[in-house]
Chains A and B, each alone.
Chain A
Amino acid sequence: QVQLQESGPGLVKPSETLSLTCTVSGGSVSSGSYYWSWVRQPPGKGLEWIGYIYDSGSTNYNPSLMSRVTISVDTSKNQFSLKLSSVTAADTAVYYCVVLVRGSPWFDPWGQGTLVTVSS
């Protein structure tokens, strides 16, 4: 069973770049069977899919964030990462790394999530 763990700074300044990493265990980020994904949830609000990476380099992003998002993979560390540039307070959220099985694009399993606050 794949397990995921997010890590990264909990506080980012406005206009800077948010960077998070997801460490994968029980599976390989090189596997073509999975889409390695990010989902976020502002405090007290709903869920928003950010994007995914697969086959160690192909990506698909939510158009609402596409201009600011980069998802990448580090196969040597079995990790994938999220970068979100030019952040504002509206980007304050719990960020989850999640697995999408290729051909079965529902989200399972999820990491525990990490809160990122954008504030000066």
Chain B
Amino acid sequence: EIVMTQSPATLYVSPGERATLSCRASQSVSSNLAWYQQKPGQAPRLLIYGASTRATGIPGRFGGSGSGTEFTLTISSLQSEDFAVYYCQQYNNWPLTFGGGTKVEIK
């Protein structure tokens, strides 16, 4: 099973600032990586797939990059609605696995 490790566990950011979240795979997953956002009491929402392609309706301030084992989710200018938990997920190998999440909190 591919283990996904996200860092940091919690990221403190001021509104309007840039947030950079990391996700590392225990072995190469090529570009087969997705990112999700989850707000309290809600189901996760797909943000990014293919490591860098935004899902339908996702604002341009969300960007994904990376390949192989190292990936980054960047939120260029944090809005109030972006404070949430973010998960990465690899789909290169079965079983599908998620990272442990990064919580983005207000600084």
Contact = CB atoms under 8 A, between A and B. Distances in A.
A binds B: yes
B62 interface: no
**Residue from B46, B49, B95 having most chain A Cβ neighbours under 10 A:** B95
A53 to B, nearest CB: 14
B46 A108 contact: yes
B89 A107 contact: yes
Nearest to B48: A106
A107 B34 contact: yes
Interface stretch (A19-27, A59-67, A73-81, A85-93): A59-67
Q: How large is the interface on B (under 10, 10 to 19, 20 to 34, 35 or more residues)?
A: 20 to 34
A32 B7 CA distance: 37
A47 B36 CA distance: 11
Interface in A36-59: 46-49
Contacts of B55: 108
B100 A111 contact: no
A60 B42 CA distance: 26
Interface string B15-36: 0000000000000000000101
B75 to A, nearest CB: 19
Nearest to A97: B43
Q: Which 9 A-B pairs have the closest CB atoms?
A: A110-B43, A106-B34, A108-B46, A105-B91, A47-B98, A49-B96, A62-B95, A106-B49, A46-B100
Interface of B: 1, 34, 36, 42-46, 49, 55, 87, 89, 91, 94-101
